[in-house]
């Protein structure tokens, strides 16, 4: 009888410690939308390999995009994927894809980015004076577990 009580007590302590570890040790990280009140397109600043990148949050884009002029400082691999981009270009050009390791909330994930050769995305620099380095699409949020919360104007990574 005593051994059963000891076992149950130890099991309770282990469950409690597990709960505390999940609840308080590994907290989610929130990235607020930048300039959401003045700009109609949400973007966040994401640190990728020590460099800050302003990335449009586009839950309607199937892939993520990064400008070619900003990848020179990143460690990446050329991906075998070639994607035909239609939305950012009128004629639909084939674009190379790179795989970039990214640390998101302590977890390293590898994400593919389609390389965009243009110098401006969505006319942000012309309209708002803000450099946009790329677009985070659905694939990025699926890989990272990121949750776009338009009500609270944030992206949450577990």
Q: Does 56 score more than 70 pLDDT? A: yes
Q: Supply the pLDDT for residue 2.
A: 67
Residue 22, pLDDT score: 58
| CATH at 111 | 2.40.70.10
The answer as to whether 46 is a domain residue is yes
Asked if the structure places residue 12 within a domain, the reply is no
Structurally, the chain folds into a number of domains equal to 1
How does DSSP assign 46-102, residue by residue?
Answer: EEETTEEEEEEE-TT-SSEEEEGGG-TTS--EEEEEEEEE-SSSSS-EEEEEEEEEE
Q: Using one digit for the tens of pLDDT, what is the confidence trace for 59-81?
A: 888 889 999 999 988 999 988 77
Query: Considering the domain boundaries, does residue 22 fall inside one?
Result: no
pLDDT of 38 reads: 78
Give the range of the structural domain holding residue 146, as residue numbers without chain letter. Answer: 28-157
> Residue 17 domain-assigned?
no
Is this prediction's pTM over 0.85?
no
Report whether pLDDT(89) > 60: no
Region 141-152: mean pLDDT is 91
Q: Is the separation of the CB atoms in 88 and 56 below 8 Å? A: no
């Amino acid at each position: 009888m005593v051994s059963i009580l000891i076992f149950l007590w130890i099991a309770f302590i282990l469950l409690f410690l597990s709960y505390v570890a999940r609840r308080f040790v590994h907290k989610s990280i929130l990235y607020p939308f930048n300039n959401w009140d003045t700009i109609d397109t949400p973007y966040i600043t994401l640190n990728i390999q020590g460099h800050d990148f302003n990335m449009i949050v586009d839950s309607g884009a199937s892939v993520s995009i990064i400008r070619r002029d900003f990848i020179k400082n990143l460690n990446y691999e050329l991906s075998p994927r070639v994607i035909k981009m239609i939305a950012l270009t009128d004629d639909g050009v084939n674009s190379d894809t790179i795989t970039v390791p990214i640390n998101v909330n302590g977890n390293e994930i590898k994400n593919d980015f389609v390389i965009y050769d243009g110098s401006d995305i969505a006319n942000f620099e012309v309209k708002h004076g803000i450099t946009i380095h790329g677009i985070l699409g659905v694939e990025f949020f699926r890989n990272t577990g990121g949750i776009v919360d338009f009500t609270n104007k944030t992206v949450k990574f577990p």
